[in-house]
Amino acid sequence: MPKLDSFSPSSAPLRIKGAGYTSMMLSVLAGIALGACGGDGGVSGTGGVVGAGGEVGSGGAPLGSGGAPSTGGVAASGGVTSTGGVTSTGGAAATGGAPASGGAPAGGADGSGGAPAGGAPGSGGGSGDTCELGTTAGNEVLFIGESFVQASTIPEETSKLAREAGSLMAGEEYVDRSESGTWIGPGGPGKSIPKQYEDNANGVRFVLMDGGGNDCWQGGQESHRTAALQAAEQLFQKMGQNGVEKVVYFFYPDPIGGQFSSLTSCLNALRPEMKALCDAQTAPTCHWLDLREAWDGHPEYTSDGIHVAGPGNAPTAAAIFETMQANCVAP
C-alpha cells in the first residue's frame, strides 16, 4: 500500500456677504449679530455645533465632501448646522464642536483615532486586531506537516507573497519543519507533527500547518481519527502555553482517483471534526482553510492524486496567504 510520506493528499460653499451699507448700519448689524449668536466671549451659541453632518462615515472621515464647515460656519455638503450656526466675533467653536470620538479632524485628514475600527491598514486587519505590516520576522512563522507541505514549494511561495505584501523583509523566509510520512497522532515514521512544533517552538508566534492525511492514509480507522484529534488538541494547548498567537490549519483537497476511496472517506469524516476543534481555539486562535475550494476543477494541481504538483503550488500558497491576510496572521 502506498504511503503518504509524499502526502500532500488586494455648488460652492455659502458665504456671508456684505452689502454696501454705511458704517453706522454695519455697527448696528454687528451688535445685533453678537446678541443673537451667543454673546459671551465671542463663543458661538448652541447653533455652532455641527449637526448630523458631524457623524463619522466608514473609514473614519466625516461624511460630506471636504468634511469641514465652509467659511462662515455653514457646513459643507452632508453637514447641516442648526439654527443660528453663524459664529460671532471671536469665532471659537462651541463646546462639543470637536469631531466625535474616533473621527478624523475637519478636512478628512487622518488623525489620532481617525483610523477605521480594526486598526491601521495592514494585511487584512481582521477580527478587530491592530494589523500593522512588517511586524513579523521570518523565524516567527513555522510551517509543520507532512509531505503535502514538505514535497511542495508551498512555504517558499507563501514567503514570496509575504515579501511582496510587505509582511516580510527582503530575503526573509518562513521556517519549514514539515516531514514526509508523519502523523499528527501517534504512529508513523519520523517526528510527529506535534514534535515538529515542539522542537522548533522557541520564538514562534504563528503556525501554518496541515495534519491528519497520514493518520487516514496509513491508519484510517475511527481510533486513528480519535487519536489525531486528541493529539491536535494537546498541540494547541502547548502552543498556547508557549505564546503562539494564531494558527492557520489548511486541510487537504479531495484525492483524485478511485484508488483513494478509503482515504477520501476517512478525510471526509475527519475534516468536520478537526474544523470544529480548530474553530473552538482561543489561545491561540485557529483559522481553518479547506483547500477543496481552491483546488476544485484543477486536476493539474496534482500529479499523483494527493500531492501538490508544480501548477498547484502557487494557488495553494495564495489560498493560505489570503487566509493569513483576512485574519491578520503574521502581518
User: Which 3-state string (H, E, C) describes 58-80?
Assistant: CCCCECCCCCCCCCCCCCCCCCC
The reported pLDDT for the residue numbered 4 is: 43
Q: C-alpha grid cell for residue 49?
A: 455645533
* pLDDT (tens digit per residue) in 193-231: 999 999 999 999 999 999 999 999 999 999 999 999 999
Cα distances (Å, whole numbers) of residue 288 to 17, 209, 210, 272: 63, 10, 10, 10
Query: Mean pLDDT score of the chain, rounded to an integer?
Result: 73
Give the C-alpha separation, 73 to 85, whole Å: 6
**Is-contact 291 248, C-beta < 8 A?**
no
What residues pair up with 249 in beta bridges, in sequence order? 209, 288
Closest to 250 in 3D by CA, of 147, 145, 168, 326: 145
* pLDDT (tens digit per residue) in 267-323: 999 999 999 999 999 999 999 999 999 999 999 999 999 999 999 999 999 999 999
Q: C-alpha grid cell for residue 148?
A: 503535502
**Is-contact 8 306, C-beta < 8 A?**
yes
Closest to 304 in 3D by CA, of 5, 6, 57, 61: 6
Q: Which CATH class is domain 121-326?
A: alpha beta
CA 266 to chain centroid, in Å, comes to: 32
- Domain map (residue ranges) of the chain: 37-115, 121-326
What residues pair up with 286 in beta bridges, in sequence order? 247
Closest to 235 in 3D by CA, of 281, 187, 299, 267: 281
Indicate if the pLDDT at residue 143 is higher than 80. yes
Give the C-alpha separation, 217 to 328, whole Å: 33
* pLDDT (tens digit per residue) in 66-123: 333 333 333 333 333 333 333 333 433 334 433 333 333 333 334 333 333 333 333 3
CA 162 to chain centroid, in Å, comes to: 14
